[in-house]
Amino acid sequence: MSQHEQQPLDFDVVVVGAGPVGENVADRAHKAGLTVAIVEKHLVGGECSFYACSPSKALLRPIHATRASQRVQGSEGARLDPQGVLARRDAWINRLDDSGQVGWLDHVGITLLRGEGVLTGPRALEVDGRPVTARHAVVLATGTTPTVPPVPGLREAKPWTNREATTSRRIPDRLAVLGGGVVACELAQVYAALGSTVTVVEQAPGLLGRNEEFAGTAVKEALERDGVDVRVGTAAESVSRLGPTGEVTVHLEGGGTVVADELLVAVGRTPATKGLGVESVSGRLTDAGYVSVNARMEVEGVEGDRPWLYAVGDVNGIALLTHMGKYQARACGDLVGARAAGREPDADRTTPWADDLGAPQVVFTDPEVAAAGLTEAEAREHGLRIRVVDLPMDSAAGSGLQAEGYQGQARIVVDEDAGVLVGATFVGQDVAELVHAATVAIVGKVPLATLWHAVPSYPTMSEIWLRLLEEYGL
């Protein structure tokens, strides 16, 4: 920051929140020639870099690589080294030191304002009480915080959230996990692999409820093979901990208890809008507390002769995924840049319209779950006339070559009226990179009759595409 000390606290653009989403919107606006400040009260790089995607994948990848070796005849002796896994994770999160990211901001010329940003009026904020103004735009990118539900005794039991679970240097003997979504499944698998006795408690009847049901079923079975006790369809009624560091007991609805040394709460996220002052400028929040935005990420309800307040990433609640937030950030940064220059923005480029098609997502469990577009249920809710094609992944020879006894499942969802793909889900070892082809097909609205000519290479696992289209009847 040193080179900026002499500048007045007035910028073209002020971004609140320096996670990947905030960094991207700041970067695009700065590249458009604007002066940009980014406000961050904790770590530059945000939840994703330090407490979510990055450490989670850093922890999971050695597990995947070890198992991949163990599953192939001719490769032997691979084993997990738990301390090595933790050391790898430490390297990826740089021991919670954000100097690398701060150096990048300095390098490109974006001003970092450390502190808590609060909207105080049109184009006006305070950062830890210090007034800051934005000539053109303020962009909110504060993300979310872990939800701690109002279960009696839960907060007092000092549960882990994703933050503690992704950064712990200690492997608890027993870990209880509340929740059955991505964070719960990934971290349950990590700790089980590292040696913890893990119990998952999920209220819903299955895991990964936003995915196709077969994906959650496959991950549940895999967790159980890993020794995880998965209890679905039940919830915590109360929680108690014996003393400040003693064992935690989770009392389940309808009886039964889970006793553990640590308790991870991973039941959802809460938008980080508290104290942000959105309402003070007439900005609207959704019932769930997210900042309400239109298709161009403009905060709804804000008054003024021209748009100046935007919200991108998790805080707007559209898709709680780093890559979709970054996507919104690129569009928003370009929009802010164009508007500041008095140019008519390119509507296609500055509207993140692919949000509406269903975000791609990879769950890095073993098996991986890689999905894009709509699930069967979502497509039906959209009123589409669809056809679903299901196949085991080993219909493609490439899967069997990847691992002995390869287990997995693939589904495509076809919009029968439009003749295009609207959804795809792949479950299995090493399917993470298979899904981008689906994203391209869905977003590009490539007709199925044309997809038929997109030949997958033999013998890759991607040949499942051929099998799915054959099964569809092409």
Residues 19-78 that bind a second copy (CB under 8 A): 20, 48, 53-54, 57-58, 61-63, 65-66, 68-69, 71-78
In the sheet that holds 248-252, the strands lie side by side as 236-241, 248-252, 257-260
| Angle at the Cα of 327 from the Cα atoms of 326 and 328, rounded to 5 degrees | 90
Helix axes 82-92, 182-194, angle to 10 degrees: 140
Residue 233 in contact with a second copy, rule: CB under 8 A: no
Q: How far apart are CA 238 and CA 229, in angstroms?
A: 19
- Residue 200 CB, nearest approach to a second copy (Å): 23
Region near a second copy per CB under 8 A, out of 101-109, 110-118, 337-345, 353-361: 353-361
Residue 452 in contact with a second copy, rule: CB under 8 A: yes
Q: How far apart are CA 397 and CA 404, in angstroms?
A: 11
Task: Map the footprint of a second copy across residues 432-451, applying CB under 8 A.
Answer: 432-437, 439-444, 446, 449-451
Q: How many CA atoms lie less than 13 Å away from 119 in the CB half-sphere? A: 28
Residue 210 in contact with a second copy, rule: CB under 8 A: no
- Residue 210 CB, nearest approach to a second copy (Å): 14
For 87, residues 6+ apart whose C-beta sits below 8 A from its C-beta are none
**Alpha helices by DSSP H, 146-263:** 162-167, 182-194, 213-225
Residue 162 in contact with a second copy, rule: CB under 8 A: no
Pick the closer one to a second copy by CB: 253 or 416.
416
**Which amino acid, 344?**
E
Q: Are 137 and 29 in contact (CB under 8 A)?
A: yes
Omega before 82 cis (within 30°)?
A: no
Residue 411 in contact with a second copy, rule: CB under 8 A: no
Q: Kindly determine how many residues on this chain lie close enough to bind a second copy according to the rule CB under 8 A.
A: 86
Q: How far apart are CA 48 and CA 348, in angstroms?
A: 27
In the sheet that holds 408-415, the strands lie side by side as 361-363, 368-373, 420-428, 408-415, 386-392
Residue 4 in contact with a second copy, rule: CB under 8 A: no
Tokens found for residue 468:
């799915």
Q: Among 362, 391, 410, 468, which residue sits at the site for a second copy (rule: CB under 8 A)?
A: 362
Pick the closer one to a second copy by CB: 20 or 117.
20
Region near a second copy per CB under 8 A, out of 126-134, 198-206, 248-256, 347-355: 347-355
Pick the closer one to a second copy by CB: 87 or 259.
87
Region near a second copy per CB under 8 A, out of 140-148, 290-298, 374-382, 454-462: 454-462
Residue 94 in contact with a second copy, rule: CB under 8 A: no
Q: Among 182, 230, 309, 324, which residue sits at the site for a second copy (rule: CB under 8 A)?
A: 324
Residue 453 in contact with a second copy, rule: CB under 8 A: yes
Tell me the per-residue interface mask from 278 to 317 with a second copy, x by CB under 8 A, - otherwise.
Answer: ----------------------------------------
**Which amino acid, 436?**
H
For 23, residues 6+ apart whose C-beta sits below 8 A from its C-beta are 38, 44, 45, 46, 101, 104, 105, 329
Question: Partners of 175 in the beta sheet?
Answer: 198, 262
Q: Among 231, 296, 323, 380, which residue sits at the site for a second copy (rule: CB under 8 A)?
A: 323
| Angle at the Cα of 358 from the Cα atoms of 355 and 364, rounded to 5 degrees | 110
Region near a second copy per CB under 8 A, out of 145-153, 279-287, 295-303, 345-353: 345-353
Residue 170 in contact with a second copy, rule: CB under 8 A: no
- Residue 53 CB, nearest approach to a second copy (Å): 5
Pick the closer one to a second copy by CB: 113 or 448.
448
Pick the closer one to a second copy by CB: 338 or 443.
443
For 158, residues 6+ apart whose C-beta sits below 8 A from its C-beta are 241, 244
Residue 465 in contact with a second copy, rule: CB under 8 A: yes
Residue 111 in contact with a second copy, rule: CB under 8 A: no
